[in-house]
Chains A and B, each alone.
Chain A
Amino acid sequence: MKQNDLILQTVTKVAAFVILLFAVAIFLGGHYSPGGGFVGGLMTSAAIVLLLLAFDIKTVAGILPIDYKLMIGSGLLISSLTVAGGLFFGVPLMTHVYHYINLPLLGHISLHTAVLFDLGVYLVVVGVTMTIIQTIGESE
């Protein structure tokens, strides 16, 4: 007999979005407040794990058709391209630059290349966590 987990699934649908938003907020605020790519990535995978708990692996793979191993690769690629950027500008590797610009809605903000590096970290963390959990979940 199949259990009825309607409450769990309904709550998950709401909670997953709140957790995802929180993860993005932590990720973007990393430069000025506690947080950054690592915790942001972990929170994101926590949201996906919650989905995995409420539904099953197949459904979640349908919602998020992502190959997490490629996600690790892309994260590494973004981070190492940021590192290698120094090669093209004749400065030491991993030298970061930033610039203040005015955006229509967001206002006066600074854009920093360290965020790109962090984005790589974020993708690797999500990719690694999800690969581990999915691989263990699928093996018999």
Chain B
Amino acid sequence: MNNLTFMPVLWPLFTAIFLIFFSKKIMLQRGISLFSSLIGIAISLYLVFSVHTHGILTLGVGSWDAPFGIVIVADMLSSLLVLTTNIIGFAILLYSFYSIGEERERHYYYPVFQFLLIGVNGAFLTGDLFNLFVFFEVMLMASYVLLVLGGTKIQLRESLKYIIVNVLSSSFFVIMVAYLYSVLGTLNMADISQRIAEVNQPGIISVIAIGFLIVFGLKGAIFPLFQWLPGSYYAPPIPVMALFGALLTKVGIYSIFRTYTLMFYHDQDFTHTFLAILAILTIIIGVIGAIAYWDVKKIIIYNIIIAVGVIIFGISVMNEQALSGSILYIIHDMLIKAALFLLVGIMIKISGSDDLRDMGGLIKRYPALAWTFFIAAISLAGIPPFSGFAGKLLILQGAAEKGAYFGMAVVLLSSLMVLYSVMKIFMNGFWGTPKADYALTNNTVNKMLVPAVLLVIISVLFGVGTESIYPFITQAAETLINPDIYIKAVLKE
């Protein structure tokens, strides 16, 4: 019994309920959201350290123990992701104050923001497959509202697509849960894993594994299922876009982490090879998109798809190094994607256009913005002292150990292309001669820059201090590579 495990869900829930009652008082909404999100960071930090000292924490909700009740399980991977989510939530909230606009703020922007955090935190922490579905829906409902809030033409068009895709994938999720339940007769993840191990993953379980890959691939945008993402993420205002880019696809990836390391790991020749092929194709598609466009938002959006591919490739290799690499990389990617979206948002605000060919010479007036962007860009590509390096290095080492040389080559080449795509933004946007008389004062820009700088600083510290947080990462990877640790903690045998 440990109620702390569920606090990252319960705390934003109470905040959201409280905010519903005072929807018109904007300053109150801002103050409470900010305060609550600071507490949220504190709770999740405490959770990370508790998991580090005591091992996996579980909570049988309603005093019903696993496998009969819903279990909330905080292992190291979940708690690290919850911490990252809360930090990103805080930064984006701060950015929203200056950019979302009063009209949206008055129409339940902040409560819905909290509901999105509830969904994401809950999806990371749950130990029950159907509960995972419910938290997915909480997250998706909130994201529908955030996507459509404001009601501009492009938002309406894109949210229609987004909702159709997600309703389809959610119903597919339910169908797959039904299949798994009729084969195994349980919904608790640890129990599922144990029963699959007993029957040694016959063909039908591998079919269900691929079914789940389709579901989570639709949420996480892997190769043949990513088409909804570039359009849908293009539509909402910048803070919402940053929230989506940093959190939503990562929940899909986390679910692939969970299912493919905890449950469906007995027939790796089939399932994990399939995963590897899709991952490589995802990287290639992402790279093509990232270098094709002159639109800053589109470039960053396609960089999400590349990162998804790299992380999934790490999962498909399935040894300890590659998995720790994937965990490092997913945390790095959440931080840096949020920062990049915020920075790009400031650039668009200054120049009034999202086309690179309309920008230029921003470095002369806004040097702080330029250098923050530069650091974020080289972190994204994985230049050594910064945060993207260690994760990718470990994934490559793991792949080399397994002999997946083609995948290694693709990942390495993709880094080059990522660097090219963000440097294109840097060179065309910040160098050269100014294309227009930029009206925004340095003061306004600096205010909006604070959360982005915060995220970049955290990600730089994350890169420089990889050595000191590495014990946490290995603890997370250990649980993934030995599902028995997880099963023992949940079923208490």
A positions within 8 Å CB-CB of B: 69-70, 72-73, 76-77, 80, 83-84, 86-87, 91-96
Interchain CB contact under 8 A, A80 and B17: yes
Q: Tell me whether B53 is interfacial, beta carbon within 8 Å.
A: no
B62 at the interface (CB under 8 A from A): yes
The 0/1 profile, CB within 8 Å of A marked 1, for residues 56-97 of chain B is 000111110000000000000000000000000000000000
A-B contact pairs, 22 of them (CB 8 A): A69-B20, A69-B23, A70-B20, A70-B21, A73-B20, A76-B13, A76-B17, A80-B10, A80-B14, A80-B17, A84-B10, A84-B14, A87-B3, A91-B63, A92-B1, A92-B60, A92-B61, A92-B62, A93-B3, A93-B6, A95-B62, A95-B63
Query: What is B's interface to A at a CB cutoff of 8 Å?
Result: 1, 3, 6, 10, 13-14, 17, 20-21, 23, 59-63
Compute how far the CA of A62 lies from the CA of B239 in the bound complex, rounded to whole angstroms.
41
Instruction: A80 to B63: give the CA distance in the assembly, Å.
Output: 17
**Contact: A93 with B59, CB < 8 Å?**
yes
Q: Assess whether B63 is in contact with A92, with CB atoms less than 8 Å apart.
A: yes
What is the bound-complex CA distance between A84 and B6, given in angstroms? Answer: 10
- B61 neighbours in A (Cβ, 8 Å): 92-94
Q: Which residues of A lie under 8 Å from residue B17 when comparing CB positions?
A: 73, 76-77, 80
CB A79 to nearest CB in B, in angstroms, measures 9
Closest CB of chain B to A68's CB: distance in Å?
12
Docked CA distance A70–B20 (Å): 7
Chain A residues with Cβ below 8 Å from B60 are: 92
**CB-defined contacts of A91 to chain B, threshold 8 Å:** 1, 63
Could you tell me the distance between the alpha carbons of A30 and B472 in the complex, rounded to whole angstroms? 47
* Chain B contact residues, majority secondary structure: helix
Chain A min CB distance to B20 (Å): 4
Q: How far is the CA of A95 from the CA of B20 in the complex (A)?
A: 26
**CB–CB B10/A73 < 8 A:** no
The one of A80, A87, A92 that contacts B13, using a Cβ cutoff of 8 Å:
A80
**Nearest 4 interchain pairs by C-beta:** A73-B20, A94-B62, A95-B63, A76-B17
- B6 contacts A72, CB within 8 Å? no
User: Smallest distance from the beta carbon of A13 to chain B beta carbons, Å?
Assistant: 33
Residue in chain B with minimal CB distance to A75: B17
Residues of A within 8 A of B59 (CB): 92-93
Known A92-B59, A92-B62, A94-B61; further 7 A-B contacts with Cβ < 8 A = A73-B17, A80-B14, A93-B3, A93-B6, A93-B61, A94-B62, A95-B62
CA distance A2 to B3 in the complex (A): 61
Which residues of the partner chain B approach A80 to less than 8 Å between Cβ atoms?
A: 10, 13-14, 17
Shortest distance from the beta carbon of A30 to any chain B beta carbon, whole Å: 17
User: Are the CB atoms of A96 and B62 closer together than 8 Å?
Assistant: yes
How many Å lie between the Cα of A92 and that of B66 in the bound state? 13
**Assembled-state Cα–Cα distance A95/B1 (Å):** 11
Query: Chain A residues near B23 (CB, 8 Å)?
Result: 69
B14 contacts which chain A residues (CB < 8 A)?
A: 80, 84
Looking at the assembled complex, report how far the CB atom of A118 sits from the nearest CB atom of chain B, in whole angstroms: 14
Interchain CB contact under 8 A, B13 and A93: no
Look across to chain A and name the residue whose beta carbon is closest to the beta carbon of B6: A93
Max count, chain B CB within 10 A of own CB: residue among A72, A92, A94: A92
Give B148 Cβ to nearest chain A Cβ, in Å: 14
Q: Which of B3, B13, B20 contacts A86 (CB 8 A)?
A: B3
| Docked complex Cα distance between A91 and B1 (Å) | 7
Q: Are B62 and A93 in contact (CB under 8 A)?
A: yes
In the complex, A95 Cα to B21 Cα: how many Å? 27
**Which B residue's beta carbon lies closest to that of A69?**
B20
B149 to chain A, nearest CB (A): 15
For residue A86, which residues in chain B have a CB less than 8 angstroms away from its CB? 3
Contact B20 A72 (CB under 8 A): yes
A86 to B63, CA, bound (A): 10
Contact A92 B3 (CB under 8 A): yes
Cβ-closest chain B residue relative to A76: B17
- Residues in B whose Cβ lies below 8 Å from that of A69: 20, 23
Are A83 and B10 closer than 8 Å at their CB atoms?
yes
Please give the distance in Å from A77's CB to the nearest CB on chain B: 5
A72–B20 alpha-carbon span in the complex (Å): 9
Measured CA separation A83–B70 after assembly (Å): 14
Contacts of A77 in B (CB 8 A): 17
B43 CB to nearest chain A CB (Å): 13
Given contacts A86-B3, A87-B3, contact A93 B10 (CB under 8 A): yes
CB distance from A64 to the nearest CB of B (A): 19
Nearest Cβ on chain A to B116's Cβ, whole angstroms: 16
**Minimum Cβ distance to chain B for residue A72 (Å):** 7
- Chain B residue numbers with a CB within 8 Å of A92 are 1, 3, 59-63
Contacts of A84 in B (CB 8 A): 10, 14
B21 CB to nearest A CB, Å? 5
With a cutoff of 8 Å between Cβ atoms, the chain B residues found around residue A87 in the complex are 3
Q: Which residues of A contact B62 (CB under 8 A)?
A: 92-96
Q: Quick one: closest A residue to B63, CB to CB? A: A95
Question: Chain A contacts of B21 at CB under 8 A?
Answer: 70, 73
**Cα–Cα, bound, A96→B59 (Å):** 15
Give bound CA distance, A95 to B59, whole Å. 11
What CA separation (Å) do A93 and B64 show in the bound complex? 10
Docked complex Cα distance between A96 and B17 (Å): 22
State in angstroms the CA–CA spacing of A136 and B431 once bound together. 51
Q: With the chains together, A94 CA to B61 CA distance in Å? A: 6
Q: What residues of chain B lie closer than 8 Å to A76, measured between beta carbons? A: 13, 17, 20
The smallest beta-carbon distance between B112 and chain A, in angstroms, is: 13
Residues of chain A within 8 A (CB-CB) of B63 are 91-92, 95
